[in-house]
Amino acid sequence: MKNQDDKYANIDLNKIYEYSDLPDKKAGRCDNCDSVKFKSSVKGGKFLRECTNFGMKKNI
């Protein structure tokens, strides 16, 4: 379990993560701030979700 926690401890806000590589700790919430507010967009057939508080981005 410690290895899983390390993944979430070193989050780079400038990087776009793949959901399959870094799933949500709590479903539908930002891993960084636990917020549920996201900006969403679709580009190139991928759904991009960005936290409005911290800017963490994931392709869903």
Q: What percent of the chain is predicted at pLDDT more than 90?
A: 68
Q: Which residue has the tokens 């290895």?
A: 3
- SS3 state of residue 8: helix
Summarised one tens digit per residue, pLDDT across range 12-28 is: 889 999 999 999 999 99
Q: What percent of the chain is predicted at pLDDT more than 70?
A: 92
- pTM of the predicted structure, to 2 decimals: 0.80
CA distance 38 to 32: 13
pLDDT band at 37 (very low <50, low <70, confident <90, very high): very high
**46: enclosing H helix or E strand:** strand 46-51
**38: enclosing H helix or E strand:** strand 38-43
